[in-house]
Amino acid sequence: MINDDILDRLATQVIELPSWAFGNSGTRFKVFAQAGVPRNPREKIADAAKVNELTGLAPKVALQIPWDKVDDYASLRSYAEDFGVELGTVNSNTFQDDDYKFGSLTHWDPRIRQKAIDHHFDCIDVMDATGSRDLKIWLADGTNYPGQDDIRARQDRLADSLQQIYARIGDDQRLVLEYKFFEPAFYHMDVPDWGTAYTQVLALGDKAHVCLDTGHHAPGTNIEFIVAQLLRLGRLGSFDFNSRFYADDDLIVGSADPFQLFRILYEVVRGDGFGPDSGVAFMLDQCHNIEKKIPGQIRSVLNVQEMTARALLVDRDALATAQAAGDVLGAHEIFNDAFYTDVRPALADWREKRGLPANPMKAYAASGYQEQIEADRVGGEQAGWGA
């Protein structure tokens, strides 16, 4: 089953938690507030650190600017390090300002486009202070009605804006461009698919990569194919993990289609996208609208770990033999044998050997942390979308 080699490889796994996962979130219909939700970046970091403390899987916290804007990033960094976590990817945000109603990096108005570019310069300044490697750009840009704007001119303006931002990226930094099939623009998104993200980053240079958010595809899309392709092309920069049934539901990774997550992680392993030298960042990008935030994140990182273990379990030699023989059922069965293996006991052992709780969900419930933050974090404004 799970041998020491696999356990050792699993020990290198790093999953970045998004600071915004700990704040309130919701749909356009309603945001349900939760007790104990953080009111500032430090409280978000504390919560993220709790997830790491119980799982050993999440030593990085991704930031969102301006949501996580502080006066002193060096101090925030020390604060995080005291909690045993690093500050990770810096995510820009050009979707919550009235100026961006018709776009940001693609806008026809040079003033607004420059404002959006300047925001990314600010983000790079933050990265310099936090030691973050990656600037991740997700754009809400697009149009709602046919004819509303010139699709192609927007693409050209995007290329120009990205060029300016890329020129500021440091030698050890990367620009990672995320694509999304739909929403919040309804007729067209300016970066709707991996092809667009890839052609845009290809025009920039070697430090530009693509971010694949598992929830950002058309129904029926074979996501693991895209993973394999981007790894083949050397441009898979990072994952935004989550899962979804229909749209950008941002549910717990692996909760909607665990077999899909297995297939994705298999292609990651197959394409040398797993491990410290791969350059592929694993991040969560999820909402916990109705479930509690911290155990929601714990469940999520455990799901990624469990499925990575299954992906590592695939007997690739046997698989290659069956594939080369055209043995469809045999190859499929070898592949599925790994998926149907119950890796949970072995991972509980793995945790215990590392001084971690065998069952992090129960350990969290028993820790009193939830009760503590619910008691302490009263007053002030809860963090949330836009906060």
Restricted to residues 52-91, the positions that interact with a copy of itself (CB under 8 A) are none
Q: Closer CB to a copy of itself, residue 124 or residue 334?
A: 334
- Does residue 346 contact residue 309 with C-beta atoms inside 8 Å? yes
Subset of residues 221 to 240 that bind a copy of itself, contact rule: CB under 8 A: 221-222, 224-226, 228-229, 231-233
Tell the smallest beta-carbon distance from residue 378 to a copy of itself (Å): 17
Q: Closer CB to a copy of itself, residue 114 or residue 148?
A: 148
Subset of residues 328 to 347 that bind a copy of itself, contact rule: CB under 8 A: 328-329, 331-336, 339-342, 344
- Does residue 170 contact residue 131 with C-beta atoms inside 8 Å? no
- Residues 102-121: x where in contact with a copy of itself by CB under 8 A, - otherwise, as a string: x-----x-------------
Q: Closer CB to a copy of itself, residue 23 or residue 132?
A: 23
Q: Is residue 12 close enough to count as binding a copy of itself by CB under 8 A?
A: no
- Does residue 192 contact residue 182 with C-beta atoms inside 8 Å? yes
Strand pairing class (142-143; 188-189): antiparallel
**Member of 84, 101, 205, 374 binding a copy of itself (CB under 8 A):** 101
Subset of residues 288 to 327 that bind a copy of itself, contact rule: CB under 8 A: 289-292, 295-296, 299, 306, 319-320, 323-324, 326
**Member of 27, 75, 78, 372 binding a copy of itself (CB under 8 A):** 27
Q: Closer CB to a copy of itself, residue 315 or residue 352?
A: 315
Q: Is residue 196 close enough to count as binding a copy of itself by CB under 8 A?
A: yes
Q: Is residue 33 close enough to count as binding a copy of itself by CB under 8 A?
A: yes
DSSP letters along 146-192, please? TTSS-HHHHHHHHHHHHHHHHTT--TT-EEEEE--SSSSSSSEESS-
The backbone torsions φ and ψ at residue 137, rounded to the nearest 5 degrees and listed phi first, read -120, 115
- Written as one letter, the residue type at 379 is G
Q: Closer CB to a copy of itself, residue 43 or residue 306?
A: 306
Tell the smallest beta-carbon distance from residue 185 to a copy of itself (Å): 9
DSSP letters along 8-36, please? HHHTT--EEEEGGGGSB-B-SS-B---TT
Q: Is residue 150 close enough to count as binding a copy of itself by CB under 8 A?
A: yes
Tell the smallest beta-carbon distance from residue 380 to a copy of itself (Å): 19
Measured N-to-C along each axis, helices 360-367 and 293-313 cross at an angle, to the nearest 10 degrees, of: 160
Q: What tokens were used for 34?
A: 């939760």
Subset of residues 169 to 188 that bind a copy of itself, contact rule: CB under 8 A: 181-184, 186-188
Cα(335)–Cα(269) distance, integer angstroms:
13
Burial tier of 152 (Cβ tally within 10 Å: 0-12, 13-18, 19+): exposed
- Written as one letter, the residue type at 372 is Q
Q: Is residue 246 close enough to count as binding a copy of itself by CB under 8 A?
A: yes
Q: Closer CB to a copy of itself, residue 86 or residue 333?
A: 333
Cα 372 from chain centroid (whole Å): 28
Binding part of the chain for a copy of itself, among 4-12, 16-24, 39-47, 260-268 by CB under 8 A, reads 260-268
Q: Closer CB to a copy of itself, residue 74 or residue 290?
A: 290
Tell the smallest beta-carbon distance from residue 209 to a copy of itself (Å): 15
Strand pairing class (15-18; 281-284): parallel
Q: Which of 248, 238, 231, 136 is nearest to 181 (CA)?
A: 248
Q: Is residue 278 close enough to count as binding a copy of itself by CB under 8 A?
A: no
Tell the smallest beta-carbon distance from residue 347 to a copy of itself (Å): 11
- Does residue 21 contact residue 294 with C-beta atoms inside 8 Å? no
Within 13 Å, how many C-alpha atoms sit on residue 24's CB side? Answer: 16
